[in-house]
């Protein structure tokens, strides 16, 4: 066990004990225990002394003991509609992966973009970004990596060996996959966990709903723009592969498609359920307008998809269904608990008056709104390089909401760009699973990732400040 983890394991409960036994009141009698729990959670989340999902269970134990909230109220957060929205998304991703439909979609996108080196990089980035909208960024990276490695091996084994241009191409492909996986998840509510933490906070604490389609009106254009910027920075500026020629990549893609064989009946069935679900998410408001008694929500649609994937038979006679319950052993259950822990912490902060305290402190100061927003976006983006973005949003989102209230601006104006910032971690391998996966390939060194990543981070901060100033007020 690493020293930092050992230290964090001991330091978390010690810091909690000290914070709960201070001779003075920091915030209020009810607020101080919440701060103590938040400190313990933050230490364990940063050091990853135990699983971040296990840390998320602390409010369930400590809030009732400390008389912050009764256990029924704390427990309700772990069964929030947003948890089930993401559960449905996970089941859908599971089905796509089980029948290999995600790989077929990715390969066809790469085949369509072309086989010149830069077009191959673009193809991998578009395919990874498109997959990350619907399945986890880790899964989309794992799918793309072996295909990318096959293409890179063609360059290693050609007549001139592995030249500088070849190395730049390998770097661009690897970093392009990781960065597109991170940026692609921004496009949809279910694309990345921080988005759902925000949606849950808004529904639970502020009775504010952002529909699937509403989020996409901002998330999708930002995601496409960020992937485009990543592509230009990688292949045109930082790691250009000038005069590199190879056509064999077309054969690699074709061979991978041939391995999959013709589209199976199960793939077609999953595609139909997937298409119906996305259609319902996008046109939910219109459907509710036509059938007002229906009251469809994004969570209900997500659960419909999950039930359909379990219950619609592919072959009724043989009892063959797309997915069985045993397949859910691969489901990221820990993330669902993490959502619950984040929402419980937010509930504790609001019910104990901490959010109001932050709001009042900001309201009584003379801070510029634009400067505050810029600092919060930069803080979130660079902090997410060092700790889990879900955990970070869970801790900071309620505080950011308090700051927005104090600045007398709608909370969405500040919360949306700050949440998106948590998915823009491009600098370090430990920042996100996609970064770590491509780093483990051996074709990317830390200084190479950091060199391009710091530029992309700064561009992302600039873009999100523009989103805060000009885009969010128009859309929301």
179 falls within a domain: yes
Q: Residue 269 above 90 pLDDT? A: yes
CA within 13 Å, CB half, 412: 18
**For 433-456, what is the mean pLDDT?**
92
**Spatial contact of 121 and 172, defined as CB atoms under 8 Å apart:** yes
**For 415-430, what is the mean pLDDT?**
93
Give the per-residue pLDDT at 46: 84
Strand (E) positions, 210-260?
none
The segment with the largest mean pLDDT, out of 13-17, 47-51, 161-165, is 13-17
Supply the range of the domain harboring residue 283. Answer: 82-330
pLDDT confidence tier of residue 441, bands split at 50, 70 and 90: confident
383 falls within a domain: no
370 falls within a domain: no
346 falls within a domain: no
Which has the higher per-residue pLDDT, 317 or 139?
139
Q: Residue 181 above 80 pLDDT? A: yes
Give the per-residue pLDDT at 430: 81
Q: Per residue in 303-339, pLDDT tens?
A: 999 999 999 988 877 878 999 999 999 888 998 998 8
Q: Per residue in 54-65, pLDDT tens?
A: 999 999 999 999
- How much of the chain exceeds pLDDT 70, in percent? 97
In 3-state terms, what secondary structure has residue 423? Answer: coil
250 falls within a domain: yes
Q: Give the total number of structural domains in the chain.
A: 1
In 3-state terms, what secondary structure has residue 424? Answer: coil
**For 275-291, what is the mean pLDDT?**
92
Q: Residue 247 above 70 pLDDT? A: no
pLDDT confidence tier of residue 161, bands split at 50, 70 and 90: low
Q: Per residue in 184-229, pLDDT tens?
A: 999 999 999 999 999 999 998 899 999 999 999 999 999 999 999 9
Give the per-residue pLDDT at 367: 82
Q: Residue 280 above 70 pLDDT? A: yes
The segment with the largest mean pLDDT, out of 72-76, 338-342, 363-367, is 72-76
pLDDT confidence tier of residue 157, bands split at 50, 70 and 90: low
- Kindly report the number of other CB atoms within 10 A of residue 282's CB atom: 14
Collect contacts of 142-147 with beta carbons under 8 A, ≥24 apart.
Answer: 142/437, 143/97, 143/102, 143/103, 143/106, 144/106, 144/177, 144/181, 145/177, 145/437, 145/438, 145/441, 147/106, 147/107, 147/110, 147/252, 147/253, 147/256
413 falls within a domain: no
Give the per-residue pLDDT at 156: 67
Give the per-residue pLDDT at 14: 96
CA distance 262 to 106: 15
Give the per-residue pLDDT at 380: 93
428 falls within a domain: no
403 falls within a domain: no
Question: In the predicted model, what is the mean pLDDT of the chain?
Answer: 90
pTM over 0.85: yes
Q: Residue 402 above 80 pLDDT? A: yes
Q: Residue 244 above 70 pLDDT? A: no
Give the per-residue pLDDT at 248: 60
Q: Per residue in 97-114, pLDDT tens?
A: 899 899 898 888 888 887
């Amino acid at each position: 066990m690493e020293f930092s983890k050992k230290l964090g394991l001991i330091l978390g409960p010690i810091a909690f004990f000290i914070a709960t036994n201070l001779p003075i009141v920091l915030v209020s009698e009810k607020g101080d225990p919440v701060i103590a729990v938040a400190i313990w959670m933050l230490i364990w989340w940063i050091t990853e002394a135990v699983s971040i999902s296990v840390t998320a269970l602390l409010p369930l134990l400590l809030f009732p003991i400390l008389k912050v909230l009764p256990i029924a109220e704390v427990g309700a957060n772990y069964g929030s509609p947003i948890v089930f929205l993401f559960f449905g998304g996970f089941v859908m991703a599971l089905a796509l992966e089980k029948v290999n439909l995600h790989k077929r979609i990715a390969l066809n996108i790469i085949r369509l973009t072309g086989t010149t080196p830069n077009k191959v990089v673009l193809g991998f980035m578009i395919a990874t970004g498109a997959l990350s909208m619907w399945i986890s960024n880790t899964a989309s990276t794992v799918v793309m990596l072996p295909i990318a490695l096959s293409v890179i091996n063609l360059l290693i084994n050609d007549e001139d060996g592995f030249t500088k241009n070849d190395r730049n191409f390998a770097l661009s492909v690897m970093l392009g996959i990781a960065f597109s996986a991170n940026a692609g998840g921004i496009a949809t509510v279910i694309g990345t966990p921080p988005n759902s933490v925000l949606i849950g906070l808004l529904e639970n604490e502020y009775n504010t709903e952002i529909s699937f389609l509403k989020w996409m009106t901002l998330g999708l254009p930002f995601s496409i723009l960020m992937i485009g910027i990543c592509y230009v920075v990688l292949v045109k500026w930082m790691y250009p592969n000038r005069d590199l020629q190879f056509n064999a990549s077309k054969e690699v893609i074709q061979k991978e498609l041939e391995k999959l064989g013709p589209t199976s009946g199960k793939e077609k069935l999953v595609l139909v359920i997937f298409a119906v679900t996305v259609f319902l998410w996008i046109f939910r408001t219109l459907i509710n307008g036509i059938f007002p008694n229906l009251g469809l929500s994004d969570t209900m649609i997500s659960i419909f998809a999950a039930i359909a994937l379990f219950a619609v038979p592919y072959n009724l006679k043989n009892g063959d269904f797309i997915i069985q319950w045993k397949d859910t052993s691969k489901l990221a259950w820990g993330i669902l608990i993490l959502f619950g822990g984040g929402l419980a912490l937010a509930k504790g902060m609001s019910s104990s008056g901490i959010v109001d305290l932050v709001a009042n402190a900001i309201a009584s100061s003379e801070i510029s709104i634009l400067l505050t927003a810029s600092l919060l976006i930069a803080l979130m983006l660079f902090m997410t390089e060092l700790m889990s973005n879900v955990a970070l949003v869970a801790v900071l989102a309620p505080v950011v909401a308090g700051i927005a209230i104090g600045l007398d601006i709608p909370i969405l104006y500040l919360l949306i760009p700050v949440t998106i910032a948590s998915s823009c971690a491009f600098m370090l391998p430990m920042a996100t699973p996609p970064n770590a996966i491509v780093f483990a390939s051996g074709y990317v060194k830390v200084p190479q990732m950091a060199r391009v990543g710091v530029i992309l981070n700064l561009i992302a901060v600039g873009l999100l400040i523009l989103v805060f100033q000009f885009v969010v007020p128009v859309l929301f």
